[in-house]
Chains A and B, each alone.
Chain A
Amino acid sequence: MLANQIGYYSLIIGLFFSFFLFVVSIKDFNNLNKKINQNVFILSFLQLMFVVISFLSLILSFINSDFSNETVFNNSHTTKPLFYKVSGTWGNHEGSLLLWLLVLTLFIFLFLIKSRAQPKKYRILTVLFQQIIITGFFLFVLMTSNPFNYLFPIPQEGLGLNPILQDPALAIHPPILYLGYVGSSIIFSASLAAVTQNYISKEWSQHIKKWVLISWIFLSIGIMLGSIWAYYELGWGGFWFWDPVENVSLMPWLTLTALLHCILVLERRTLLTSWVVILSITTFTLSMCGTFLVRSGILNSVHTFANDPARGIFILVFLFVLIFLSLGIFFIFHKENNKDLNSFFWLSKETSILVNNWFMMYFLSVVLIGTVYPIFLDVLSTEKISVGPPFYHKLIAPFLAPFLLFMAFGPKLKWIKSKIENKNSIIVLFVISIVLTFGIIKNLSVNVLFYTVLITAAFFLFFTTLKELFVKKSNNISQGIAHFGFSLFILSILFNSILSSEIITNIKIGEKYNYNKSEIFFEKIEKKKESNYSSIIGYFKITDKNGKVTQLKPEMRAYNQPIIVTSEADIKTTLLEDKFLVMNLVKGDEYFNIRYQVKPFMLWIWISVLLISLGGSMSLFKKKYEK
C-alpha cells in the first residue's frame, strides 16, 4: 500500500526533475564556463534515483501480492513462484513502461559521466533531447498507463500471469532487449545534438561508437532470448515467425548494424555524415514505431499487449512529434561536408560498407513494408491481407547469397583504394566451398540450385573469416569473430531447415511406434502437483537409428489462475541436434497425440548469435581502433 504511494509520487517527482533539467541545462548552455554545471549531474542522478525507487516499489508490490494495486491484480497471483512474481513486474504494459523510463534515465546519466572529454554544448544538448523523450514517457505513463492505480475494495486474489510468460528466458528478455532498444535513444539524442553543433566528425564518431556497440550487443542478445523462449514455449519447434512484434525488434537491429558500419567509416574519414545522422534518427524512430505498433492494438499478434486506443493515439502523436522534430533539426542544421566527396573509389573498404548499407536498407524495407502494409491496405481499401513467412523468405533469401559474398570480400579491401590481392587463395576457398556444398546437397532431396548457391556463399564467408582469424592472424579480431559468427548463423539455419524431421502420431500408453529404423516407446504417465499448476508428465523412450536411447518427458499443465492448459515440450539438446517432443490429449480418447522432431544444429544458431555479440564486445573493449 505504502509502496503504491511511494511509487506513484516518485514518478511525479521524476517528471518535475525533467522540468528542472530543462531550465538548468538551457541556462548552463549559455554559460561560458567550460565545464557543465554540477547541478545537471545531480538532477540527472536524482531523476534516475526516483525512477529506480518507483520501479522497486512496483516490484515490492508484486512480491507482496498487493492487490490494491491494479497492475498487480491484473498480472499476478499469490501462488506464483517468487521469481515470476518479480519478472511479472515488467511482463505487462505499465511495468514495462517503467523499464523504458529506467533505461532512458540511466543511459543519459551514464552518458554524462562517460562524456567528460566531449564539448560542453554538445553534452547539454544531448541531455535536452533525451529529456524531451523522457518527459514524453513520464506523461504517457502518468496519463494513460499508471502502474499504481488503486483498487478498492481490495481483491483477495489476482488474475494471474499467463503461464507461457512464466519462463526464465522470457523473464530476462525484456530488460536485456530494452537496454538495446531503448538504449538507442541516447544515439538519437546525441546525433541531434551533434548535428546542431556541426560536430559530426571523426572525434564524435569515436565517442559515439561505444554507445552504438552497447545498444547493438544488448539488442542482439535480447532478440536471441526472445527467440529461445519462442522455441521452448510457443508453437512446435519454430524460433522465428516473422510476427509483427518480432519484426519490430529486428528493424532497429538492422539500422543499428548499418550505423555501426558507417561509424567505422566516419572514424577514419569524414564521409557519410548525413547518412550517419539519418540512421541514428531512424533507429530510435523504429523503436518508438515498434512500441506504437505493439501497444496500440493496431496489429494482431501473439505478443501484443492489451489494446487501448487512447494509448495508441498518445504514442502515435509522440512518435510523429519526434520524427518531425528530428528531421527538422537535420534539415536546418546539417551541413554537407563537401571536401571529401570525391573519395569513393570502386574497390575500397568505404564502398564495401556502402554496399553493406545498401543491402541492410533493402532488408529493412522488406521487413518494414511487410509489417505495416496490411495496415495501409486496410485503411485505404478495407481489404485485409496477411503477410507471413513466405513473403519474407521469398524476398530476403535471394539477396542473402550476394550479401554473404560481399561480407567475405569487404573486410579484405583497404581504405580509400585497393586491389584484389591473393587472388589464388580466394579462388581456392571458393572452389572448396562449392565442392563441399555440392557434396552435401546432392544427398538431400531439396531444391539443388537455390540451396547450393546460398550454402556455397555461406561456406565461402565461413572459410574466409576462419582463414583471416587463424592463418593470417588478423589484427581485427572483433570483426572477424562477428562475421564468422554470421556465417555460422546462416549455415546453422540452412542446415537446420533442410535436415529437420518430424513425426506426428497418436499413441497409447505402453505402445511403441516404429519408423525409419527408430522407435518411440510411450512408457507411462505420472501426475504432479506444483503451487500453481498440476501436470501430467509423459515418459517416452526414443531409440534412434544407431541404437542410442533418449528419454523425453513432455508435460501437459493445467494452471489454476488464469485457467489455462499448456503443453510443455521436452527438449534434449546436444551439440549436434535437438530432440523435441510435445504431447497433447486427443479429445475423449485414451490416445495422446505426439509431435516428435529432430532438429540438427539448433544450439549452433544460439551460439552463433553469441559469437556475433562477442565480436561486438571485443570491439567495445579495444583501446585503439584498427588500422
Chain B
Amino acid sequence: MKNKLNSIIIFIFLSFCFVVFYKGLNNSNIYTPKINDEKNIPIFKAKDFNSNINIESEKIFEENTYYIVNIWASWCVPCRKEHPLLMELSKNQSVKLIGLNYRDNLNNAKNFIIELGNPYSQILIDNDGTLGVEFGAYGVPETFLIDKNKKIIKKFIGQINQEIVDEIKSIIK
C-alpha cells in the first residue's frame, strides 16, 4: 500500500533526525576547528620585545627544534595562572618558547616578565592583535605547538594545565 510505504519512509527519516539531534547534543559546543590538516606557520615580520627591531619569521623559527608560540598579555588573568607551567616547559631542551605579547602596554608587559620570570627565548610585540590572527588565534591566552617541519600541530585555546603540559612533553620527546 502506498500509504504504508510513505509512513515507513517518513518513520525512518524522522528516526534518523532524532539520532542526529541526539548526537548533536553530546558534541562539544565550543567550536574549535580541529587541526586535521597541519598548517604551515605564517610568514610575517614583527617587532622584538627587547630590541624593538623588526624580525622576520624565518629567522625566528630557523632552528631545527620544536617551538611553542604562546600568546599572552599582562592584563590577562589566566596568563598569570599558566605562567609557572610555561616556566617548567622552558627548561625542556627540545623546545623553544616564543612569546606573543598581545595588545599590551610595553611597560606593564616588561614588569610582568620581571615579576614572574621569562620562559621565552624570544618575545614578539602584537599591538593590534593582527599577528594573532595570522596564527588563527581567538584571543589570549592561546598556545601553539610547532614541529620541526615548521607546521602547527597542536593548538590550545585558553589557559594550559598540567595535562596539556604532559601531552606536549610526550610529543616533543
Q: Is the CB of B29 within 8 A of A297?
A: yes
Chain A interface helix/strand/loop/mixed: helix
Interface contact B22-A316, CB-CB below 8 Å: yes
Q: Mark A298-331, 1 if CB is under 8 A from B, else 0.
A: 1010000001010011001000100110010001
Stretch at the interface among A372-380, A409-417, A589-597: A372-380
Give the residue among A296, A307, A375 with the most B Cβ atoms within 10 A.
Answer: A375
CB distance from B53 to the nearest CB of A (A): 24
**B26 interfacial contact with A, CB 8 Å:** yes
Contact (A313, B29) CB under 8 Å given A324-B14, A331-B7: no
Q: Within A378-435, which residues are at the interface with B (CB < 8 Å)?
A: 378-380, 382, 384
Complex interface: chain A residues within 8 A of B29 (CB): 297-298, 300, 307
Distance in angstroms from B24 CB to nearest chain A CB is 5
Q: Known contacts being A375-B20, A384-B33, is A327 close to B10, with CB within 8 Å?
A: yes
Complex contact B27–A379 (CB within 8 A): yes
Q: Type the 1/0 row for B1-34, where 1 means its CB is closer than 8 Å to any CB of A.
A: 0010001001100100010111111110101011
Shortest distance between the CB of B169 and any CB in chain A (Å): 28
Is A67 engaged at the interface, CB distance under 8 Å to the other chain? Answer: no
Q: Which residue of B has the minimal Cβ distance to A313?
A: B25
Total A residues in contact with B, Cβ cutoff 8 Å: 22
Is B21 within 8 A of A323, CB to CB? no
* Chain A residues with CB under 8 A of B7: 327, 331
Contact A292-B33, Cβ < 8 Å, known A320-B14, A323-B14, A378-B27: no
Are the CB atoms of A309 and B26 closer together than 8 Å? yes
With A and B bound together, what is the CA distance between A331 and B25 in angstroms? 30
Docked CA distance A320–B11 (Å): 11
Identity of the chain A residue whose Cβ is nearest the Cβ of B103 in the assembled complex: A587
| Residue of A whose beta carbon sits closest to that of B25 | A312
CA distance A324 to B18 in the complex (A): 11
- Chain A residue with Cβ nearest B36: A382
Q: How large is the interface on B (under 10, 10 to 19, 20 to 34, 35 or more residues)?
A: 10 to 19
Q: Are the C-beta atoms of A382 and B34 separated by less than 8 Å?
A: yes
Contact with A316, one of B14, B25, B33 (Cβ below 8 angstroms): B25
A276 to chain B, nearest CB (A): 18
Q: Write out the residue numbers on chain B whose beta carbons fall within 8 Å of the beta carbon of A323.
A: 14
Q: A313 to B20, Cβ gap below 8 A?
A: no
On chain A, the residues within 8 Å of B33 by CB distance are: 384
Instruction: Report the Cα distance A312→B27, complex, angstroms.
Output: 12
Find out whether the CB atom of B3 lies under 8 angstroms from the CB atom of A331. yes
A300–B21 CB distance below 8 A: no
CB neighbours of B22 from chain A (8 A) = 313, 316
Beyond A300-B31, A316-B18, A376-B20, whether A309 also contacts B10 by CB under 8 A is no
From residue 551 to 588 of chain A, which have CB atoms closer than 8 A to chain B? none
**Contact, CB under 8 Å: B21 / A316:** yes
Distance (Å) between the CB of A453 and the closest chain B CB?
A: 36
Instruction: Please name all residues of chain A whose beta carbon is closer than 8 Å to the beta carbon of B24 when the two chains form the complex.
Output: 298, 375-376, 378-379
Contact, CB under 8 Å: B20 / A380: yes
Determine the residue in chain B with the shortest Cβ distance to A320: B18
**Shortest beta-carbon distance, B2 to chain A, in Å?**
12
Q: Is the CB of B14 within 8 A of A379?
A: no
Q: How far is the CB of B7 from chain A (nearest CB, A)?
A: 5
* Least distance between B124 CB and chain A CB atoms (Å): 20
CB distance from B123 to the nearest CB of A (A): 21
Closest B-chain residue to A293, C-beta based?
B21
With a CB–CB cut-off of 8 A, which chain B residues contact A384?
A: 31, 33
Residues of B within 8 A of A378 (CB): 24, 27
Closest to B18 in A: A320
Contacts of B21 in A (CB 8 A): 292, 298, 316, 375
Q: Known pairs A309-B26, A320-B18, A327-B7. 9 more at Cβ < 8 A?
A: A297-B29, A298-B21, A298-B24, A300-B29, A309-B25, A324-B11, A327-B10, A378-B27, A379-B20
Q: Can you sample 8 A-B contacts with CB below 8 Å?
A: A292-B21, A298-B25, A300-B29, A316-B22, A327-B10, A379-B20, A382-B34, A384-B31
Can you list the 8 inter-chain pairs with the closest CB atoms, starting with the nearest? Answer: A375-B24, A312-B25, A379-B23, A331-B7, A379-B20, A320-B18, A379-B24, A298-B24
